[in-house]
Amino acid sequence: NLPRKDSNAVTMGARENLCISGNDESEGQEAVRKIKEETVNGKGTILYAIVPTFLHCDLASMKSIRQFVQQFRAKNCPLHVLVNNAGVMLVPERKTEDGFEEHFGLNYLGHFLLTNLLLETLKQSGTRSRNARVITVSSATHYVGRLHLNDLQSRCSYSPHGAYAQSKLALVLFTYRLQHLMTADGSHVTANVVDPGVVNTELYKNVCWATKVVKWMTAWLFFKTPEEGASTSIYAAVSPELEGVGGIYLYNEQRTKSTDVSYDEELQRRLWTESCKMTRISDVGSRDL
């Protein structure tokens, strides 16, 4: 599980190809090294046919995302699974290089643009018997989120908690709208959203000192390890039970009901349209295909 800003997204192509993207070269290459070690035994025998690579991608930069997609496409690899997993939480009010409020810009718009730019590759890779899959990591925080379509950048009144919750709600709305469009288009692509639970990672580095102390004292009891936190994303990515199944919210590998407002199809459509304007891409979702 890679829930930090410097570990933006994980994309999986054919079974033997694993592409890890992030904005920290050293951490990315370290992840590649560890995967290689775990897939080869002490005698040099390859245990799993996995070839990991790292490509730089900063989801806080529209330019970086487009460059990443160009590099990925140049590999001419199929794309069977895309895991949108980057995130920042409770950061002070600040903007990405494109001028977006950081929670909304990185947590949501970055994934929105990345997924849309890779959508044709996903469609080409999916088949009737093996759909391509998009897995997006949200959070239980989305249950208290409010989507302010007239102020998505939180300019009127900034709250780190409110901005974070809004970005996580936006990811759920995006997932459901994406699934609707893929179904209407007859594409062999499914989109699901997962809640990893409370995971002990660096995502909490911006919380107040008192919360950090409590976290330090109770993490062993109440927090999941990164490996445990990744389990639902992995389940969504590879489980045969979810073949051809999309538009669902998963927690602890179980289908769960998301907040009521997330099922508002008009809100899903309006957010999609506004997101296309912000990222300057064609709005194929403005109509039902």
Q: Among 3.40.50.300, 3.30.365.10, 3.90.1150.10, 3.40.50.720, what is the CATH number of 80-284?
A: 3.40.50.720
pLDDT at residue 248 tops 90: yes
**Residue-level pLDDT at 244:** 97
CB 86 within 8 A of CB 36: no
What angle do the packed helices 160-185 and 265-279 form, to 10 degrees?
100
Q: One-letter amino acid identity for 139?
A: S
pTM here? 0.86
DSSP string, 225-256: PHHHHHHHHHHHHH-GGGTT--S-EEETTEEE
Which H or E element spans position 69? helix 62-74
pLDDT tens digits, residue range 71-94? 999 999 999 999 999 889 888 999
Share of the chain above pLDDT 70, in %: 79
Q: Give me the active site residues, please.
A: 164
pLDDT at residue 11 tops 80: no
Closest CA to 150 of 166, 129, 138: 166
Q: Average pLDDT in the 137-155 region? A: 95
Average pLDDT, whole number, for the chain?
Answer: 85
Sequence ranges of the domains in the chain: 1-56, 80-284
Burial class of residue 275 in the structure, from the number of CB atoms within 10 Å of its CB (0-12 exposed, 13-18 middle, 19+ buried): buried
Of the pLDDT bands very low, low, confident and very high (cuts 50, 70, 90), residue 14 is very low
Q: Who contacts 249 (Cβ-Cβ below 8 Å, separation ≥6)? A: 138, 172, 192, 193, 194, 195, 255, 256, 257, 258, 262
Q: Is 18 helix (H, G, I), strand (E, B) or coil?
A: strand
Of the pLDDT bands very low, low, confident and very high (cuts 50, 70, 90), residue 2 is very low
Of the pLDDT bands very low, low, confident and very high (cuts 50, 70, 90), residue 178 is very high
